[in-house]
């Protein structure tokens, strides 16, 4: 089961986690990631996307994660429009029978979302506004999954505890 939404409206993390937990009684773990607009030098961030293409790209990323791990449910919400520091940008939630798969799949989805989904970010700072270029570190995070299809980062390779 997968739910994907690209929208301007905010989301409630607790409600999204509950929807994941209730999606399948076989789920033993729910893991999520919530991305926020950083403050500091950034006064605001505007996110744009290519409607239709963005949802297809996100669905393909989720389908890839579902092929790699046994997942009970996945939820991806990405906001668009002008956002202020502290506001939520993205929610990625994964429910699976075991925590290792949930952690790995959540991280995988975020790593691919950052590099493969057609979103464009413009940051507003005191010096003006500028489009944010792709970061090499995001490409490296994605590329580590390509070396071995079932590979997981070292943080989640350990067996059950």
CATH assignment at residue 141: 3.90.1170.40
157 within a domain of the structure (yes/no): no
55 found inside a domain? yes
Q: Residue 95: phi, psi to the nearest 5? A: -115, 135
142: confidence class by pLDDT, cuts 50, 70, 90: confident
Tens of pLDDT, residue by residue over 71-110, are: 999 999 999 999 999 999 999 999 999 999 999 999 999 9
pLDDT for residue 90: 98
Residue 86, in any domain of the structure: yes
DSSP states along the chain: -EEEEEESS---HHHHHHHHHHH-TT--EEEEEEEE---TT-SEEEEEE-TTHHHHHHHHHHHHHHHHS-EEEEEEEEE-EEE-TT-EEEEEEEEESSHHHHHHHHHHHHHHHHHHS-EEEEEEETTEEEEPPPPHHHHHHHHTTTSSTT---GGG-S---
Structural domain including 42 reads 2-151
Tell me if 73 is assigned to some domain: yes
Q: How confident is the model at residue 158 (pLDDT cuts 50, 70, 90)?
A: very low
- Rounded to an integer, what distance in angstroms lies between the CA atom of residue 21 and that of residue 101? 15
| 156 occurs within a structural domain | no
How many separate domains does the chain show? 1
Is 159 a member of any domain?
no
What percent of the chain is predicted at pLDDT more than 90?
A: 75
Q: Is residue 28 part of a domain?
A: yes
Owner of token pair 């937990």: 21
The closest alpha carbon to 65, from 26, 24, 111, 19, belongs to 111
User: Quick check: is 111 in a domain?
Assistant: yes
């Amino acid at each position: 089961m997968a739910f994907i939404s690209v929208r301007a409206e905010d989301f409630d993390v607790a409600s999204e986690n509950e929807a994941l937990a209730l999606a399948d009684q076989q789920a033993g773990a729910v893991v999520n990631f919530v991305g926020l607009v950083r403050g500091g030098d950034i006064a605001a961030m505007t996110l744009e996307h290519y409607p239709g293409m963005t949802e297809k790209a996100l669905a393909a990323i989720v389908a890839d994660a579902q092929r790699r791990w046994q997942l009970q449910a996945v939820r991806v919400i990405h906001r668009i429009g002008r956002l202020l520091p502290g506001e939520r940008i993205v929610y990625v939630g994964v429910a699976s029978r075991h925590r290792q798969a949930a952690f790995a799949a959540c991280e995988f989805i975020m790593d691919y979302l950052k590099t493969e989904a057609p979103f464009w970010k413009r940051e507003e700072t005191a010096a003006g506004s500028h489009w944010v270029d792709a970061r090499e570190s995001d490409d490296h995070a994605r590329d580590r999954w390509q070396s071995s299809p079932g590979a997981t980062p070292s943080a989640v390779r350990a067996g059950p505890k």
